Amino acid sequence: MRAFRLSLALCAVVAVFGVTLAAPPSIGGCQIFPSNNAWNTPVDTAEVHPNSANYIANINANGGDYVHPDFGEDPSYGIPWTTVTSSQPLVPISFYYPDESDPGPYPIPSNAPVESGSDHHVLIVETTNCVLYEVYDAEYTGSDTTGWEAGSGAVWPLGSNDLRPDGWTSADAAGLPILPGLARCDEAESGTIDHALRVTFSVTQRAYIYPATHFASSETGANYPPMGLRLRLKASYNISHLDGQALAIAQALKKYGMIVADNGSNWFISGETNPGCWDDDLNRLKDIPGTAFEVVVSPPPPSDVPGDLLKNGGFEAASPNGKTPAYWTRDAQKDKQVCNTEDALGPDVIVAQAGNCAYRFKGNGTNDKLKQTIKLSPALAGGVTVSAYIKTEANPAGSGKIKAKLIGTGGETETLSLDFPSGTLDWAPYSVGQDPGFAIAKVKVKVKTTAGSGFVWLDTVSVVAGASRLPVPAAP
């Protein structure tokens, strides 16, 4: 049985957004994300969401209506995790959702604990560099030469508040890390849990809010819970009948609440696999009804969560001529912003994500450009990632690309390039990231095509801070 190396720093506090934040939990000397991370931010004083009653009623109408701790003494329940150091060899890992996964290799031992049931999560904390590796639907191939196979994977630097790219999943449906939301029994035994907990519901909304970045539903009704929704146990709910680990968890549900992270059984709260959990304590949580909870207005992202640096990358806003997207300039003939209102994208074609518009390059054999310059003050360290959804129709090879020229405070330059795929392909995400090693003062984004035939559509073009954990462009 693996050893749990968990130490809680409970003394230091910091005030952010008017909320007093406890120092975050730590594992193997690594803090589990900054104090102002969404998982570590209290919501006991947050405003009740105006749609709270409808959310709760809808949740309870679509499944169980009482809390269920989805972990305990039985090792077949809960989500396991383990730690390694930088001496752990990196092994290959192949994903069947590679376009939204951080590429390997990963430091996963051949005997890493794998979650029972259907999700087969593997969670690894590399404690030398304080990096969290999480994998969904993992299976060891039987050899370190071939490593692991999995559905999706994400790499999380634990000292950062970086999110997944907008629209991306992770090892969890909502695009969130799993480990910081687990009820850990050593914490509960100590009497204090200083973070929010992960929760699932049977039916979620086709939407997500901060800190989530991905949805996993076709339901559009406003009363279904979106991924990332924050709930808390009402302050008025009496928990005096609880003690031990159950009391610590209930107190955390009042102070930090829980975050919707996946589809699953209603009110199932996630915890670690650990025989140190006490079922006699935990079973008392099953008496808490869903009606004892309320939805709160989630705290805003901290200032160090990078947003999109590019304006109008979804091409929803237009300039007065109706052809040039707002904030962009274009040097083009028949290339323009197109919207679905008049079937402008072609029969049965929709935009890549939310909205009605995209940008279309129509092969004219000319040197056509779409441009935008981003000025950064203060200068940005750590690089950027450029991404876009691209659709093609009979597009010639080598005919176009998205380029981002990074210009440093001292005049240094580095250029990222993302080529348009050739042929006829449906919407797909592509991205490229780079840390140039200098502070970036300006980014010149230029989309260029010289195609003499075919079509290319762009949507959700994005430039975000950070380049350490994002994949190179997906293969066409």
- Quick one: pLDDT at residue 415? 95
Give CA–CA dist 195/391, Å, rounded.
41
Label the pairing between strands 93-95 and 148-150. Answer: parallel
- Quick one: pLDDT at residue 350? 59
- Quick one: pLDDT at residue 341? 53
Q: Give the angle subtended at the CA of 94 by the CAs of 435 and 432, to the nearest 5°.
A: 25
- Quick one: pLDDT at residue 2? 26
The H or E element that residue 185 is part of is helix 185-190
Beta bridge pairs of residue 154: 134
Find where tokens 């370190």 sit: 144
- Quick one: pLDDT at residue 3? 28
Torsion of CA 81, 86, 87, 93, to 10 degrees: 60
Token digits of residue 223 = 């009363």
**Which CATH number describes the domain made up of 329-465?**
2.60.120.260
Mean pLDDT, 10 residues at a time, the chain of 476 residues:
26 39 83 94 96 97 95 93 96 91 92 96 95 97 94 91 85 98 95 97 93 92 95 98 96 99 98 91 96 93 72 75 78 76 50 73 79 88 86 86 94 93 85 88 91 86 70 36
Domain residue limits, the chain: 37-295, 329-465
